[in-house]
Each structure stands twice: as structure tokens, then as C-alpha cells.
A and B are shown apart, each in its own frame.
Chain A
Amino acid sequence: MMNLPLNITKTVHDWIFSIMPDTAATITIWVIVAAAYLALFAVAGLYLVLLERKVAAWFQLRLGPNRVGPFGMFQTMADALKLVSKELTSNDRIDKFLYNLAPYFVIVASLIAIGVFPFSQQFQAFDINIGLFFLFSVSSIGVIGILLGGWASNNKYSLIGAMRSGLQTISYELSVGLSILTMVLLTGTLQLSEIIEIQRTGGWLILQGHIPAVIAFMIFMIAGTAETNRAPFDLVEAESELGAGFHTEYSGMKFAYFFLAEFINMFIIASIAVVLFFGGWLSPFGITEGITWFPEFLWFLIKVLVVIMTMMWFRWTFPRLRVDQLLTLEWKYLLPINLVNLVIMAIVIWLNWTI
């Protein structure tokens, strides 16, 4: 299935190799891909922020941003521009090195993770055979940035926020990991492209694995929302309790990094959900299977947006949990359910009850 993006990349690839020695060409291609992903990252982040504001407005009987550009399209661009031009202020007696390092930890972690996503069959920066494992481990780096930021800010609110973030992320990573593991039992592979290939013939994994897969999906969504520190698990930046939480002392672009990373993390969680449960870039019922010009990554984006909308729906409807309730939910409910679910999935596969 040769389609347009592949043709373009192939042409560019051939052209670069024809004018340069091999090593230089490889490095050039790496740089181009990295730049493309950076641009994608920035645009995705900005438009997710806009989407969130629009969705919030729909939920709250408001209009949302509608002044800058048509439908407020350039509102977040303007915001980003404002943040770039802001002075970077900080308070006295911060740990300068850690304070400045923290935003990069957060943003780099999200950036690396986005590299392995199969946006379509051809549109994937690197397809490694431990894809899921890689995603999972890389996305856990982000919490270090939050902890560093909270610690280095020399502010009690930041510190409480950072500590909450630490315990929350570490706890919920178990559930994310176990629910992914449940699905890996079904797929038998960690490579993202292969996971999608399996769904081409057998249908979406959430259907293939039926009951245990649905449970795994629910747990994944709950734990994933908690991982990204979004409501109802946004204790990290609970504004009615801690002001702005761990990024209270950050300003300008450093704050923007934290802010963008939150949205990119949401994108990552939604993407994993789409790849693992909803067939990635595969069209539902194969309706665009034979159409060669149809950009497959559209299906991926549509599915991701639906999942993201669900997460936004959570955010604008639910109140926030208390910190001990958060831990109770994870350790007393989600984790045992998850372990039992893992066994059920194993039995389902053993007895060949998959659809």
C-alpha cells in the first residue's frame, strides 16, 4: 500500500543520499525527522490546549476563545508568543541548577515518547521491538522533573505538590503497566506496528479480548488520567489547596514547558489506548482499506481525539479526590482488580476464548 507520505519521504530520502556521503546523509535525516517531530509536538500541544479550552467552554455554557483568528484558532499561538516574551523570574534561594533542569526533564520525556508512535503504517520515526516497554519507561521520567521542580523551587506549596505527584505517579504506574501487560498477553508482542497488524485480521483488541480487555481499558483510562495529573487526579496542582502546585515558582517559557508537557502526556496516554485497544491507524471495519490515497494517520488522530475528549470530559465533570482516597483507589481497588484481570486474560487465551 504505497501512499502519498511514503512517496514524499522516499523522494527526500533518495535525494539526500544522492548528494551526500552516507554518514552525513543519515545524520541529516535524523535532524530532519527530529525537527519534524518537534514541530508536530509544538502544534499538537498548542491545539490540544485550545481544544481543552473549547471543550471546557462547551461544558460550561460559555463560548471559549473566539477572538484571535477564526474560532480563536490562533489564541494559543498568541499565548505561547506571550509566554516566550516573558521574563523568567524566580525567587531567591532556589537550587538554580535543578530549578532550570526540571522543565527539560518533563518536556524531553514526553518528546522521546512521541517518537515511537505509529501514526500510520509509514509514519513512525522508529519502530523498535520493545516499543510498549520503551514508551512506558520513558514516560516515567517525567515525574523526576516534577519532583525536581517542586524541590528546587524552595516553596512549601511546590514541595507538597511535587511529593503528591511523586506518590501518585509511582502508584498509578503499576496499574498502567499491569493493564498494558494484560493486553500484551493477548498480542504476544511489544512492537507497536505488530500490535496493530494483529488487529487488522482479528478486529480491535478490545473486542478480541472482550471482558478482560474492557476491564483493562477502564483501568488504563483511570490510571492514565492519574499519570498525567489531570482531574479528578490533579492533586499536584490542586489550585484550591496548593495554588499552582509544583510549578508555582515557574514563569514564562519554563512554565509553558510544564504546561505543554501535560497536554502531550495526555496525547501519549490516548495514543497508547488507541494502539492497544482500538486498532491504531486501522480504519473501523476496514472502510478505507482499499483506498490508497486516504491518509491513514487521520484515523489515528480521530481515535486519539475521541479518547482525549473523554479525558477532558472527566476533567470538567468530576471533583478532585483527596490524597489518601487516591492511594486507596489504586492500592486497594485497581491493583487487585488488575492482578485478577491478568489471570482472567491468561485463562481466556489458554482456553482460546478470544473472539
Chain B
Amino acid sequence: MIDQEVKTNMKTEEYFVNMGPQHPAAHGVLRLILTIDGEIIKNVEPDLGYIHRSIEKMCERDSYQQVVHLTDRMDYLSSHINNEAVCLAVEKGLELEVSDRVKVIRTIISELTRLASHQLWWGVMGMDLGALTTYFYAFRDRELINDIFEETCGARLTMNYNVPGGLMFDIHPNFVQRTKDFIAHFKTKLPEYDRLLTGNIIFEKRTKGVGILTKEDAVAFGATGPVGRGSGFACDVRKTDPYSAYDRVDFKEVLYTEGDSYARYKVRIAEMWESMSIIEQLIDNIPEGNIKEPTKAVIKLPKGEFYQRVETARGELGVYINSTGTKNPYRVKFRSPGFSNLSVLNHITKGSKIGDLVATMASFDFVIPDIDR
């Protein structure tokens, strides 16, 4: 009876909290408008537009070579893969077949990019959950990959290594050896990641059963990448629609069926092992061949629509180019993985705690410029 009285007399009010655009857990300028009742989240409304640079519109102004450069700034953690997507789409339009050498090098660097991206995600995931040390462990190893990139193409993050028709220049003579050294190094360090975070009881409590995304929802919302695969949705473009050299390597598509944050975490950890295995299969026999197929200085795609999808570190990136036969695309549309993944957020965090929202967001691995082009 006293309980009843308390319930009727105590009036709780929902209130709004702005999480972002400047917030440590937003990883950029994502603004989430939270409706909260105490600690419990009633509604999450993402508000985009803080880093909108109208990349798609800018693409209509630029030549096809220049479009490649803009894509670096979308998902900056898998810049090489974004570049590759545009190049593949343009090559499709030109009906240009690049040499095996280009294909293999593109694949190796894509996988290195994926590794670097997942490493950064791992560091930040720990940090979002309060384990600050993970960040530095991840960066120790990520630096080595960036050094390899720097030596080969001069840039560490926004690489611009791809051009329509091939690569800007050949790999550095040290590339093969350094990549091998890195793989040998990282094979000893990845178990360390597991020892530091994976088996930790607090970490498991924070992520297991948190932010559960069912397979049906994953398909319905178009959640791809590790988010979709954590829910058992086989959506790896490298398997379903192989591009570059992915048809000649043997790797496993990592699938977990739980759909919670922990499953997404495990998918990414397992993907790092797979990436290393892909690189190992290719690194020893990079075929000889042209580094760039000759193209005209001004590329004009034939009239028509061209679509290419690739698997970035975050999921499926689609590049749609609508050409009217001029030197500029008529319309470019990117199907970015982050945008679809973000749309899931409200659906799966409703009714959970603020801490759960942070854990779920960390396991989604958002890169805001990718969501908000």
C-alpha cells in the first residue's frame, strides 16, 4: 500500500539531453537528442548536418580523377577502400581491366586499411567503456600500418593512392618486407588485445545482451558490415560480389548470431585475423604487370549508370555514378554504411541505460563524416 502511494505521489518527468555535437562519446560531431527518464532512454534522435560538406554535389563539379580525392574525406578510416570504390565504378564505365598487380596491391592495402580501422575502433571501444589503456595499445600497432602507407604513397590517412585505371605509382621496395614484419608483429599483439579487454568480466557485463539487433531488423534497416554480421546477416561484399583480388583468396566470413554489442566486438576481432590471413596469402606473390592502365587525361564516361559496391571497414559502401557522357558526373550518390547503421540506433537502445547507449555506439564504430557527407 505504501508502494502504491509512492507510485502515485512521485511524479517523474522526462527530460532532454543533448549528447553532442561536442561530446566525448560521439566520435565527431554527431548530435543525439536523448529523451531520458532518470537513467533510462526513452528516445534517441540523431541530428545530422554538423559536418555536411555536400561531397556528392561537389562531385558533380569535378572530373572523375578529382572525385576520388573527395571520397577520402568520407570515411577517413577506410580512405583507401573509398577510393577503390570510385575507381572500380569508373573502370566499369570505361570497361577497363586493370592488371593483376594492381588488383593484388589494392586488396592488400584495403586489408591493411581495414586492420588499421579496426585497431582504432578497438582502442576507442575500450575508451568509451572506461578502459583508457586500450587506446594506446591500439595506436602502437596502428602507427606501424600508417608508416607502411606513408612510405608507399606519402600519406598516412587520406591516401589518394588509387586513380581510375590503376595506382598512382608502384609500391615502395620495402613494402613487402615491412608488411610481413607487421603481420608477424601483430600476430603476437592481437592476443594481447583479447587478454586486456575481451575476457574482462566488466567488459562482458557491459556488452553481452546490450543493444540486441535481430537479423530481421538488420536486413530491414540495411545494417551492413560487422554490425550486420554480428546479427548473423551474411552481407560481406567481398564474398557476395568479389572485386579486385578477393575472388582468389581464401577467407571466412565471420558471422555471429547473438546480435549484441559483444557479438559485434567479436566479429571485428575475428575480422582482424581474417584480414591478416588475406594479406599473408597475397603478399608473397604480387604478380608483375602494369601499375596503371593508360587512360585519357580527361576521362569521359559513356552515357549511363554505373554502380560499384565494396566492403569498407564499416560495411557496404555503394558508389552510384550517373553519367551523361561529359567529363563530369551528372549525379553521384554514395550509399554509406554508417548512415544505415545509425538508423538502427533508436530502435535498439530504447529502454536501456545511458551507459548502454555508449556501449552500443562504440560497437557500431561510427565515423561521422561518413554518415554526414
Contacts and interface: CB of A to CB of B under 8 A. Distances in A.
Interface residues of A, number: 28
Nearest to B34: A156
Contacts of B17: 156-157, 160
* B-side interface size class: 20 to 34
Contacts of B339: none
A320 B130 contact: yes
Given A61-B140, A243-B23, A321 B206 contact: yes
A239 B133 contact: no
B198 to A, nearest CB: 11
A318 interface: yes
Contacts of A322: 205-206, 353, 355-356
Contacts of A325: 202, 205-206
B197 interface: yes
Given A61-B137, A320-B202, A322-B206, A240 B129 contact: yes
B133 A316 contact: yes
A241 B197 contact: no
**Which of B126, B128, B132, B137 gathers the greatest number of chain A CB atoms within 10 Å?**
B132
Contact of B126 (A61, A157, A319): A319
**Which of A60, A231, A241, A319 gathers the greatest number of chain B CB atoms within 10 Å?**
A319
Contact of A323 (B23, B127, B136, B355): B355
Given A234-B130, A239-B24, A325-B205, A319 B355 contact: no
A197 B359 CA distance: 49
B39 interface: yes
A160 B354 contact: yes
Nearest to A60: B136
A355 to B, nearest CB: 32
Interface in A286-330: 316-325
A61 B134 CA distance: 11
Contacts, number: 81
B131 interface: yes
B206 A316 contact: no
B221 to A, nearest CB: 24
A317 B202 CA distance: 11
A325 B204 CA distance: 12
B136 A62 contact: yes
B219 interface: no
Contacts of A241: 25, 354-355, 358
A238 B23 CA distance: 12
Interface string A155-194: 0110010000000000000000000000000000000000
A319 B203 contact: yes
Contacts of B354: 160, 241-242, 323
B136 A319 contact: no
Contacts of A156: 15, 17
Interface in A43-85: 56, 59-62
Contacts of B129: 240, 319-320
B130 A232 contact: yes
B66 to A, nearest CB: 38
Contacts of A235: 355
Nearest to B124: A240
Contacts of A231: 130
B343 interface: no
B275 to A, nearest CB: 23
A238 B129 CA distance: 9
B23 A320 contact: no
Interface in A127-180: 156-157, 160
A240 B353 contact: no
B200 interface: yes
B345 to A, nearest CB: 15
Given A62-B136, A160-B354, A321 B24 contact: no
A50 B244 CA distance: 52
A156 B131 CA distance: 24
Given A238-B130, A319-B203, A323-B353, 7 more contacts: A59-B133, A160-B17, A160-B354, A234-B130, A240-B24, A240-B362, A319-B202
Interface of B: 15, 17, 23-25, 39, 126-133, 135-137, 140, 196-197, 200, 202-203, 205-206, 353-356, 358, 362
26 contacts: A56-B132, A60-B135, A60-B136, A62-B136, A160-B17, A232-B130, A240-B25, A240-B127, A240-B129, A240-B358, A241-B25, A241-B354, A241-B358, A243-B24, A316-B133, A317-B133, A317-B196, A318-B130, A318-B200, A319-B126, A319-B203, A320-B129, A320-B202, A320-B355, A321-B205, A325-B206
